[in-house]
Structure 1
Amino acid sequence: MNDFDQIFIEDLKCYATIGIFDWERQTKQPLIINLTLDISKITNPKDHISDTVDYKSLSRKINDLVEKSSYQLIETLGIEIAKICLSDQKVINAKVKIDKPGALRLSKNVGVIISRSKNEN
């Protein structure tokens, strides 16, 4: 039995200046972000947002980061998104999947999965 509940956000579409090539950095590119967050179990629910993670607020923070960022690697962006998720005291583990469709001409999709835990040093 798990000692946590999970929250997920699927297919959060954001636009970023990202990539290692000059042509990639000329215009913002679409990224698709998926999150799975392990959170502390809700033990005595009050049916209030304070019981859980405010995923609307979290998605805004992530979108703001992505829109303002200028990373070369989606790996770096994924790590920063995981840090934002883990900054919420209720989040124990964060799994961040970033898809960069169109990154390879002969591929439907390219991406990265970053998993981080609050217990990591």
Structure 2
Amino acid sequence: MTDARTATIRIKDLRLRTYVGIKEEEINNRQDVVINIRLLYDADQAIRNNDIEAALNYRTITKNIIAYVEGNSFALLERMTREVLDLAMEPEAVLEAEVEIDKPHALRFSDSVSVTLGASRQRS
């Protein structure tokens, strides 16, 4: 549960292209993926002092995710989701994160298939 000091940052609809899947056409051709990330962190110092240095740098997190996803290939959507979640949890300030990755048009008659994973660290 969040309190007044805990900020939620949402990175919505990050559209990237990568290799994901097990079929030959998936292994050889980049596909679109859509990533949504929810990050929770203690924003008390950032709010109190109006200090960017105390805020979570979501731009750096996003740049790291973009480079990683576009620079790698993945057999399973679950594996890619786990690795993106690990990147989202890297900064010590992140208390909780949730990552959902959609693979558009993965199934006939469906807009997309997605996998969602979450993680949290103990608060002191």
TM-score, scaled to structure 2: 0.88
In structure 2, C-alpha distance between the alignment counterparts of 1:89 and 1:49, rounded to whole Å: 16
1:42 matched residue in structure 2? 44
> Letter of the aligned partner of 1:10 in structure 2?
K
Root mean square deviation, CA, Å: 1.5
Higher strand share: 2
In structure 1, the gaps of 5 or more residues are none
Higher helix share: 2
Offset at residue 71 of structure 1 (A): 1.0
1:104 matched residue in structure 2? 107
Choose the corresponding residue for 1:93, options 93, 96, 108.
Answer: 96
Offset at residue 85 of structure 1 (A): 1.2
Figure out how many residues of one structure are paired with residues of the other and give that number. 119
Q: Is the 8 A contact 2:43 2:54 kept in 1?
A: no
Q: Is the 8 A contact 2:10 2:38 kept in 1?
A: yes
Offset at residue 49 of structure 1 (A): 2.5
In structure 2, C-alpha distance between the alignment counterparts of 1:77 and 1:12, rounded to whole Å: 14
Q: Give the stretch that moved more between structures: 93-102 or 44-53.
A: 44-53
2:22 matched residue in structure 1? 20
- Deviating 4+ runs (over 6 angstroms): none
